[in-house]
Amino acid sequence: MPTLTQNELKRLVAHAALDYVAPGEVLGVGTGSTVDMLIDQLPEIRDRIPACVSSSERSTKRLEALGFKVLDLNAVDSIGVYIDGADEIDPGFSMIKGGGGALTREKIVASAAKKFVCIADASKKVDVLGRFPLPVEVIPMAAGVVRRRLEALGAQVKLRDFVTDNGCRILDAAGLRINDPKGLEAVINAWPGVVTVGLFAERGADVLLLGTADGVKTFTR
Ligand code: 5RP
């Protein structure tokens, strides 16, 4: 196989994810450049998808432009599969997410899905999470206190120049070596003012479709 660019790998894994969409089930749709490629290929299986639930305004716009029905999560009883990218994924299927700033809605939609399929290019697979700065969405007035608590854990923290779909802010915490993703997720989520930490460990992925130089590799939990 010729050497593929990162974008070509993303398109390849996004296409492989179409096989996980069962006919008649509401589809949960994540956010990001890999998911954009998924959305662009969804018309191929339009007949299987009665409606979607989206994790961001960005994905909603893209889905609606292609004629897909996007429902409010409160109008839906169950989601068959949730498909989303990741900034990092470890061997236990825990992830860092939120590079695109949609972590809170992503975590909510993922929690409602029977299955989480992660689509990622090979650069996202790591042994230990933390090389990618950990996003933490906060209520704006809590940015300072949460920043200090992250710094006390050893992180270098930056306030992202970005307002989330929820009207909140994001702190990006670099330099954490995350050996216990579930434990750290629980700790940070418990701090007052934290809306969501971008660690997806309690509800990690069930399937990883990884775009590699040798094609799509499938890993199942
Ligand atoms: C958005 C996310 C994305 O899934 C993550 O940032 C990966 O994005 P991309 O597919 O563009 O590499 O968590 O909040």
Classified as helix, coil or strand, 196 is strand
Q: Please name the amino acid found at residue 91.
A: P
Please report the atom of ligand 1 found closest to the CA of residue 102: 14
The burial class, CB within 10 Å (0-12 / 13-18 / 19+), for 39 is: buried
- Catalytic residue (choose from 106, 137, 151, 185): 106
Residue 3: C-alpha distances to residues 7, 33, 126 (Å): 12, 20, 21
pLDDT tens profile 54-98: 999 999 999 999 999 999 999 999 999 999 999 999 999 999 999
Residue 9 has pLDDT above 80, yes or no: yes
Is 8 catalytic? The answer is no
Question: Which residue owns the Cα nearest ligand 1 atom 5?
Answer: 86
- CA atoms in the 13 A half-sphere facing the CB of 121: 16
Q: Percent helix, strand, coil in the chain (nearest 5)?
A: 35, 30, 35
Quick one: DSSP state of residue 198? S
pLDDT above 90 covers what percent of the chain?
A: 95
Q: HEC string of 38-90?
A: HHHHHHHHHHHCCCEEECCHHHHHHHHHCCCCECCHHHCCCEEEEEECCCEEC
pLDDT tens profile 172-193: 999 999 999 999 999 999 999 9
CA of 191 to the centre of ligand 1 (A): 24
Site to substitute for ligand 1 among 31, 132, 163, most atoms within 8 A of C-beta = 31
Site to substitute for ligand 1 among 8, 35, 56, 62, most atoms within 8 A of C-beta = 35
The verdict on the CB of residue 85 being under 6 Å from ligand 1 is: yes
pLDDT tens profile 29-47: 999 999 999 999 999 999 9
Please give the pLDDT value at position 105: 98
CA of 49 to the centre of ligand 1 (A): 23
CA of 99 to the centre of ligand 1 (A): 5
